[in-house]
Homo-oligomer: A and B are copies of this chain.
Amino acid sequence: MVNIGLIGAGRIARVHANTIAGNPDARIVAIADPYQPAAKEIAERFGASVFSDAQDLFALDNLDAVVICSPTPQHPQHVVAAAQAGLPALCEKPVALSYEAAVKLENDLNGLNPKVMLGFNRRFDPSFARIKKLVEAGEIGQVEQVTITSRDPEPPSAEYVASSGGIFKDMTIHDFDMARFFLGDIVEVFTYGQNFDPSIKAANDFDAAMILLRNAAGVVATIINSRHCAPGYDQRLEVFGADGVLNADNVRATTVQVAKKEFSASKEPYLNFFLERYTQAYTNELNTFLTAISKGETPTPGISDGIKALQIAEAAEESAKTGKSIKLS
């Protein structure tokens, strides 16, 4: 039985709590959140103890691991606290607010022998994970081109945009990790940022972008981003190789098709947003974390994957603003 401490009691914390509830080998024993009503609601359901200050949770001696769902600015301090307490940690993405802060975190962890898994949930999506497995099995030979389509159903609020850190760190960060999932280290990035939404432009941000990335071997990925998409949360992947092509289509609530006088084979819109679309990915991610720590292994993706995604995000932004192709060191 793995005893888990939950840092944060927000939306994602509840997703992880449900996964733990369904896993007969794990249980939540403590929850910390400054907002006590949220923490208490989860705690009561699972019979866990409640804290306001995360430091009190880290001081417990009956924990086997922590899941960090605190606000992004606190990620570094909670990751360090977990490492100091000798606890494996699953930390939500992004690992820090900036590439600089992430590099500082990496330095702070020096000598602490941390076991940190970063919550890039899309790597655990059943379809994307299947494609990865097929690629590794040599099903399509050498990978040559990757197309990542990633569009949100609707733009976030002006407040959210203002504090988001910009589209590349907030939204495309997942796609940069997907690109790295298939291409490994990226050496060059080029971006056309787009502005169709005046309120997002007013916030000095882009609401869409088309991005090219390449690795040292010349494999290229294109990322197609938009902050809106009429039929829902558009999340597709195509991996093209020497001997074949692999695609993952969007996910819908049912398999129903309608045919009428004017059209046929009409399907439902895509699942609307990440909590529905990636439900199974969150479950698989947490279970992967639990399995790894049960076996004493260091789970992946880790801190360095978070740092590299942030580095690409900052380069993509520089490219969009300067019109130049940016080389990564």
Contact = CB atoms under 8 A, between A and B. Distances in A.
Interface of A: 18, 21-22, 24, 45, 126-127, 130-131, 134, 139-140, 142, 144-145, 147, 149, 151, 188, 190, 192, 194-196, 208, 210, 212, 214, 218-220, 222, 224, 226, 228-232, 234, 240, 242-270, 323-325
Contacts of A257: 246-249
A225 to B, nearest CB: 9
B24 A22 contact: no
B262 A269 contact: yes
- Copies held by the complex: 4
7 contacts: A18-B22, A142-B196, A145-B226, A147-B224, A226-B240, A251-B255, A264-B266
Contact of A144 (B21, B194, B220): B194
Given A147-B224, A194-B219, 17 more contacts: A24-B45, A126-B253, A127-B255, A144-B208, A147-B147, A188-B192, A196-B242, A226-B240, A229-B245, A230-B242, A230-B243, A230-B259, A244-B259, A245-B258, A263-B267, A265-B267, A266-B267
Contacts of A250: 255, 264
A255 B249 contact: yes
A218 B245 contact: no
A220 to B, nearest CB: 4
Contacts of A263: 231, 258, 266-269
A309 to B, nearest CB: 20
A220 B211 CA distance: 10
Contacts of A18: 22
Q: Which 8 A-B pairs have the closest CB atoms?
A: A266-B266, A231-B259, A244-B260, A127-B254, A249-B255, A231-B264, A245-B259, A265-B267
